Amino acid sequence: MDDSPAITWARVETDFFVASTAGTFIGTIDDEHDRGFIARDMRASVIGSFQSLAVAMEGVAERHRERDPR
């Protein structure tokens, strides 16, 4: 069973989402419509461009797990 803290997502603007876990910022997603959902990690490095918000969220979560495995 995965015992890592749950990721909380907040929609801070119409096309901008912020992720945190246990009070720690872990990444963002911008909906750039024509370019897809652009996911960035906690250092604003681009993780990738994704076709859906759900897949972009998983991209941010995966990057976080890579950096902070529990």
Query: What is this structure's pTM?
Result: 0.88
On whether residue 43 sits in a domain, the answer given is yes
Percent over 90 (pLDDT), the chain:
81
On whether residue 30 sits in a domain, the answer given is yes
Helix, coil or strand: residue 20 = strand
On whether residue 28 sits in a domain, the answer given is yes
Tokens of 55: 């897949």
CA nearest neighbour of 27 among 10, 15, 13, 5: 10
Tell whether the model's pLDDT for residue 4 goes beyond 80: no
On whether residue 1 sits in a domain, the answer given is no
On whether residue 46 sits in a domain, the answer given is yes
What is the rounded distance in angstroms from the CA atom of residue 70 to the CA atom of residue 5?
9
pLDDT at 67: 83
Q: What is the pLDDT of residues 15-44, one digit of tens each?
A: 999 999 988 999 999 999 999 999 999 999
Question: Which range of residues forms the domain containing residue 53?
Answer: 7-67
Helix, coil or strand: residue 63 = helix
On whether residue 2 sits in a domain, the answer given is no
Domain count, the chain: 1
